[in-house]
Amino acid sequence: MSIGLHEVQDPPERWPEIMPIKGTDHLELIVGNALQAAYFYMHVFGFEPLAYSGMRTGRKDAESYVVQQGKIRLVFTSALSPDSNLLHHHRIHGDGVKRIALWVDDAAEAHEGAIERGAVSCLLPAEYADDLGQVVLSAISTYGETEHLFVERDHYHGAFLPGYQPWKLSAFTSRPVGLQHIDHLVGNVELGQMDQWVKFYEEVMGFTQLITFDDADISTEYTALMSKVMSNGNGRIKFPINEPAPGLKKSQIEEYLEYNGGAGVQHIAVATNDIVSTVSTLRARGIEFLHVPKTYYDDLRSRVGDIDEELSALRELGILVDRDEEGYLLQIFTKPVQPRPTLFFEIIQRKGATSFGKGNFKALFEAIEREQALRGTL
């Protein structure tokens, strides 16, 4: 596998940021059964119940359950009525991320600027209020049927958003696994579309490109992909965008696009401060991770140098390690978390490194291909 990061050095001449973003506010997933999905993330991934909106709050079309761990908030939404538009969305895409919500100072300004720069609106700015204050929400379209919701919430003190009530389970004991925040969110887009979405994030959102990986970086004997990593000004938002590259067999990206009915969020990378503990707990609760061959660890020390963790623990759990100029990172990937081979999670611990585990791509993709072969989609 070739080495050679194509770092993009140009400082953004559009400084100050055209769209200041304070962080990821939440992710909303449309799923078949929001209540049961929320319990899966509570009991297995260690989230706590936070808020609810649905029939008991007077909502007629859908129910949503919100869970939280660290700074990560996930919203699970399901249709209530047989003629809901959500059912159409779910039939096409299955369970997956619909909204990537971004926390901004001014949701009307973010929307107006984005539209001027070429974005498509899917929610005009509007104020929503209850006894605990008010928020302004707006939204624009991004790849596939995914949306960016802009959330202005400085004047809101409720559990989540107006329209939600606190979700209280008096006897529930949360068992967090140490998840802290969203590190990055990866989108898969159709062949030939990557650069269009790179341009969207540059021109509409004011992001800059951190890194490019091409098929010389990310290819195995059979499949290949290309990836560009987009980041906002404060670096809190990182969106790698993948597209398939021609290979001998069907790539994991093509498999995703087929089963997701088009472009969408491929994985949610969540940060922990103790990956060995987090992954041990998740495994004990039944989460399955991609496995690399034990030989991956044979030359690990010579590839990454000294690390704080016990090699035997990493080998036992299948945790991958990679080093860049600034430090190292540890990472591992779950198998898909719904029936379709689409969305999965990455657990990542950064020890200085700011990159994405390029040195692991080959081992990782071969592991994915073994899973594809088992599914009969390679």
Cβ proximity to Fe ion: between 30 and 269 the closer is: 269
In the bound state with Fe ion, the residue whose beta carbon lies nearer, of 69 and 188, is 188
Which of 204, 241 has the CB closer to Fe ion?
A: 241
Residue 279: what are its φ and ψ, rounded to 5°?
-70, -35
Give the DSSP letter of residue 334: B
Asked if 243 interacts with Fe ion (CB under 5 A), we say no
Residue (of 374, 143, 102, 103) closest to 264 by Cα position: 143
Two tokens, residue 72: 């990560």
- By rule CB under 5 A, what count of residues binds Fe ion? 2
Candidates 31, 269, 314, 343: give the one binding Fe ion (CB under 5 A). 269
Tokens 């071969």 sit on residue:
366
Span of 12-20, 58-66, 297-305, 341-349 interacting with Fe ion by CB under 5 A: 341-349
3-state secondary structure of 257: helix
| Residue with Cβ nearer Fe ion (322 or 346) | 346
Residue 65 CB, shortest distance to Fe ion, in Å, is 26
Shortest separation between residue 144's beta carbon and Fe ion, angstroms: 18
* C-beta closer to Fe ion: residue 51 or 257: 257
Q: How far is the C-alpha of 225 from the C-alpha of 214, rounded, in Å?
A: 7
Residue 20 Cβ vs Fe ion, minimum distance, rounded to whole Å: 25
- Minimum gap (Å) between residue 235 Cβ and Fe ion: 15
Instruction: Output the six-digit token pair for 327.
Output: 């430090």
Between 68 and 360, CB nearer to Fe ion = 360
Report yes or no: 73 and 27 within 8 Å, Cβ to Cβ.
Answer: yes
Nearer to Fe ion, 74 or 135 (CB): 74
28 is a site residue for Fe ion (CB under 5 A): no
Where in 8-71 does DSSP place strands (E)?
A: 23-30, 48-53, 62-69
Which one of 8-16, 92-100, 131-139, 267-275 is the stretch in contact with Fe ion (CB under 5 A)?
267-275
Smallest distance, Å, CB 185 to Fe ion? 9
Q: How far apart are the first and last CA of the chain?
A: 21
Per CB under 5 A, contacts with Fe ion among 344-373 are 346
What 3-state class would DSSP assign to 106?
A: coil
DSSP-assigned states of every residue in 183-239 = EEEEEE--TT-HHHHHHHHHHTT--EEEEEE-TTTSB-SS-EEEEEEEE-TTS--EE
- Report phi then psi at 349, rounded to 5: -125, 120
| Minimum CB distance to Fe ion, residue 183 (Å) | 8
Which one of 57-65, 112-120, 261-269, 368-376 is the stretch in contact with Fe ion (CB under 5 A)?
A: 261-269
Which residues contribute to the site for Fe ion (CB under 5 A)?
Answer: 269, 346
